[in-house]
Amino acid sequence: MSDTGGMASEAKEKSVSSMSSTRERILALLREGSRDSWKSGEALSSLLGISRAAVAKHVTALREAGHIIEAVPRCGYRLVAEADSYSEAAVREHLNTRILGQRSWIWLDETTSTNSVAMVHALDGAPEGSIVVARSQRLGRGRKGHQWISLPRSLAFSLILHPRTNAEGLPLLSQMALEATVGAIESVCGLQASIKQPNDILLCGRKVGGLLIETGFRATDLEWAVVGIGLNVNARSGDIPESLRAIATSLYVEAGRPFGRAGLLREILERFERLYWRS
């Protein structure tokens, strides 16, 4: 009797390997020449021996992996920037904190909401300073139940804290998180962001980030707080839904260049911890 299950598994592995190889070849072709060089879909299709529709699907996958690739009709594709090194190891390599990011990390490719995941771990007794990071959120939440749309190549993370305060101190916690994020944007990106109370971060008059704090109480005592921060980093203008373009933006859109998310997250954590321990 033939092992049909094993054959199917082997065929699937070969298919995945083939797709990965094709994407690597597309990336290599886009790297050729200067940053102003365009590669038409027709040329890529001919060189790779695949359809133009297949080229477009592979480019979409490369974008989802963090590469910034522009597409213009009658010009083709252009590689603007390759995916940055965005991982727990990259963030922790030079992280100068005592608590935040020094204990438990939960690093997810995709989730519904980092706050939802962090709240489950907080209920299970996760240590203070634990961090949940997701490369993609499907159901990010904002204040009053509003949806936070997580754009590609952006920051979405939540901190688990055990604040030495009561519910009346939560506005201060929110202010510290906002100030840390705005300060990190200025330090790392050289951009002047501003705070719009109670939980928005603006850049050039449009929303670039926001935060959501959710809490757990034992009787009337504040037991833990989850601080969730979302920041649009390397999303292109085309990544922003048309209905939101008048009110939303990203660091990349405003600066015209990409930024390393690992360095930006590290700076936010360091700034927030300094404010947090002084409170």
Asked if residue 144 has pLDDT above 70, the reply is no
d(CA 238, CA 59): 14
Cis peptide before 171 (omega within 30 of 0): no
Point out the domain boundary residue: 21, 55, 81. Answer: 81
How confident is the model over 118-131, as pLDDT tens digits? Answer: 999 999 999 999 99
Same domain, 68 and 193: no
Are the beta carbons of 231 and 201 closer than 8 angstroms?
Answer: yes
The pLDDT score that the predictor gives to residue 11 is 44
Asked if residue 54 has pLDDT above 80, the reply is yes
The pLDDT score that the predictor gives to residue 14 is 47
Same domain, 101 and 200: yes
CATH assignment at residue 59: 1.10.10.10
The pLDDT score that the predictor gives to residue 176 is 96
- How does residue 67 score in pLDDT terms, banded at 50, 70 and 90? confident
Mean pLDDT of the chain: 87
Residue 39 DSSP SS3: strand
d(CA 174, CA 226): 11
Same domain, 165 and 53: no
Same domain, 160 and 245: yes
pTM for the model stands at 0.78
How confident is the model over 160-196, as pLDDT tens digits? Answer: 999 987 778 889 999 999 999 999 999 999 999 999 9
Note down the domain range covering 51: 4-81
Point out the domain boundary residue: 30, 56, 81. Answer: 81
Asked if residue 276 has pLDDT above 90, the reply is yes
Amino acid at 187: S
Asked if residue 273 has pLDDT above 60, the reply is yes
- How does residue 218 score in pLDDT terms, banded at 50, 70 and 90? confident
The number of domains in the chain is 2
Same domain, 26 and 95: no
Same domain, 116 and 190: yes
Same domain, 141 and 258: yes
With a pLDDT cut of 90, the percent of the chain lying above it is 61
Same domain, 10 and 114: no
The pLDDT score that the predictor gives to residue 56 is 92
DSSP state of 22: H
- How does residue 76 score in pLDDT terms, banded at 50, 70 and 90? very high
Residues paired with 206 in a beta bridge: 203
Least confident piece of the model among 1-15, 51-65, 148-162, 169-183: 1-15
Same domain, 101 and 30: no
The pLDDT score that the predictor gives to residue 182 is 98
Same domain, 69 and 199: no
Mean pLDDT of 23-34: 86
Same domain, 64 and 116: no
The count of other CB atoms within 10 Å of the CB of residue 124 is 7
Burial of 260 (0-12, 13-18, 19+ CB in 10 A): middle
Same domain, 10 and 134: no
The pLDDT score that the predictor gives to residue 32 is 84
Least confident piece of the model among 15-29, 72-86, 203-217, 230-244: 15-29
d(CA 133, CA 88): 9
Are the beta carbons of 99 and 117 closer than 8 angstroms?
Answer: no
Give alpha helix (H) positions in 160-278.
170-184, 251-255, 261-278
CATH assignment at residue 215: 3.30.930.10
How confident is the model over 104-115, as pLDDT tens digits? Answer: 999 998 888 999
Residues paired with 78 in a beta bridge: 70
Point out the domain boundary residue: 53, 81, 109. Answer: 81
Are the beta carbons of 150 and 178 closer than 8 angstroms?
Answer: no
